[in-house]
A = this chain, B = another copy of it.
Amino acid sequence: MGGPRFEPVRAVRAYERVVEQVEEAVESGALSPGERLPSERELMVQFSVSRSTVREALRVLQARGLVRSRPGDPHGAEVLPFTPAALHKSMTTLARVEELSLAELVQFRMVLDSAAILLAARLRTEEQLAEMGRAVEAMRGAVEAGEDAFGAADVAFHDAVVRAGGNKLIEICTDVVRSIVLKLIAERIAEAPDREALMRRSIHHHEEVIAAMRAGDGPLAARLSRKAMYDYYAGYVEECERGALRALLE
């Protein structure tokens, strides 16, 4: 006994080492968005691997949203600014293969949104509050204009809220989950009965949320927002799953 404790070594592919090095350079800031990677031929020299290996590595980096390469580009692959695209992709996959129900997704939104509102009620500036107000105004104007305009204004409101909340992780996850939910009910949302009444009630709810935030009552604002989201989406959720959503309404 005693002696050195050796660890099992997993065979690591050549392309993985290339990925690791580029990834490290990007995440450490040595390579910034907008900058370019050397050309594939240059990379195969620097890493002393073949062209195919370089290309496989670039495919993986591209799948992770770190770089983008275009045919014929003399500048080489471009380092991209962070986008939640990869996060979006893996959550979408999760939603499909794990069969996440719409109820679970909406519930997740209710949780994140009310948390953001709770935070925003404390941290918001007057300007941010005004921005939320303008978004609700836009929603009012968009009732006639159609789904897309209304939806865009609604997104603007919630974006303003989560930004005011100051948590980037909440911001990004909210964005990702919202788009997944919208995609799931996109075809049903237009043909919902009482569409206009739903919109007007939603606007009313949003105004109540703003009022509560202005008064500094975060818990109330959060409770109101959960109620608003429940009212808006409950119609699309299976009856038997609404109970779980109502559990968040107190």
Contact = CB atoms under 8 A, between A and B. Distances in A.
> For this complex, into which size category does the number of interface residues on chain A fall?
35 or more
A118 B244 CA distance: 11
A66 B90 CA distance: 10
Given A59-B56, A60-B59, A247-B119, A168 B87 contact: no
Q: In the complex this chain forms, how many copies of it are found?
A: 2
A96 B30 CA distance: 13
B63 A169 contact: no
Given A59-B15, A111-B170, A82 B64 contact: no
B59 A93 contact: no
Contacts of A186: none
Interface string A22-58: 0100110000000000000000000000001001100
Contact of A111 (B62, B115, B247): B115
B93 A84 contact: no
Interface stretch (A97-105, A132-140, A150-158, A187-195): A97-105
Interface string A84-96: 1011011101101
Contact of A87 (B91, B123, B219): B91
